Amino acid sequence: MPPSPPRSSPQDQANPIASNTPEEVDSDSVTTASIETFPDDWRLNPTIPKELKRRDRTSFRDEWPPPPPIKYTIEPLQSPTTRNDLSPDWEVYTHFDGRFFFYHQEKRVLTEAWLHDEQEMDKIKTCIHALEQLEGVYGSPPPNSQLVLELEPDEIHDWHCWYYYADPQSRNIFWYHHNEMGFDPPKVGGGDIEMHAAQFLQREYWRHFEYFYSVQTVEKQVLDELYAFFRYADTDVKTSTDSTHSTIPYRLPGELEYWQRQINAARESFERHEGGLPWIVGRAMYCMCEYHHLNRYGERIKIVEQGPKSRQ
């Protein structure tokens, strides 16, 4: 039996940003004496999940001739083991694609910084402490929100800490700093840019959910939303001459059938109390929210001409 229609979901809220998030914070406030003095070569900046480096962390040697192969000696009757030099407060997870990420359960902090390196661990602790200082001044983030930290040196070797908070209740991304985002809707007029930005951030929330799926919780309401959405999409493609099927998430032959199989598998996993396949759920919700974003979900819009009309 298909599920009953889901209740009004958080992504439909007019103002999905948490109410206790500060409206304005000076970008350099964490480096001033008004809070605490931090190293001169350190900055704190907002980011979004899309901008995380993930697979771009590899550095290539530009040396010739190349260095000799690295040799590793395995002792008799032994085999290499995984490292266990982390602080007990941190847990390490491995993504399906092989990446490591680290999670501090008490503080709900996630990072892909290599915390086996003592210097990187110290930098992450500095980032956490700085944001805790801001929480004390401007207010705490919503309960159960997760903080993601990214470390990156700039061209002159100053360290930047990029961060965002992900709130599961509002399904949104937010920061303590201003963060400008640009949109380019070339053929759409009459839209609401604030609502459009909200759809973009909800899409980014599910990207976050997918990236760090090992520490996420799948809820039945989300599975019901996905079931209903992809049933709609299937019907839309097969019955409507005005279908928007050229946009995500059903742009390829057989893609809808694929997604329906995956959602059914996630529902079965959830019903067996096996977690609900959070990686699949995160990717599917991302596709649904991108559809909302591209089609300016919930907005009053109109199509406008681009430039002056040519005369015959």
Residue with more model confidence, 130 or 240 = 130
The predicted model scores a pTM of 0.78
Mean pLDDT, residues 21-37: 43
Kindly tell me if the per-residue pLDDT of 214 is higher than 90: yes
Q: Where are the domains of the chain?
A: 29-56+84-174, 184-298
Question: Could you report the per-residue pLDDT of 163-187, keeping only the tens digit for each?
Answer: 999 999 999 999 998 888 776 654 5
Cβ atoms of 214 and 274 closer than 8 Å: no
Mean pLDDT of the chain: 77
State the first-to-last Cα distance of the chain, in angstroms, to the nearest integer. Answer: 58
Please report the pLDDT score of residue 309 as a whole number: 45
Cis peptide before 249 (omega within 30 of 0): yes
Quote the distance between the C-alpha of residue 228 and its chain's center. 23
How many Å apart are CA 214 and CA 93, to the nearest integer?
7
Question: Could you report the per-residue pLDDT of 216-233, keeping only the tens digit for each?
Answer: 999 999 999 999 998 888
Cβ atoms of 141 and 147 closer than 8 Å: yes
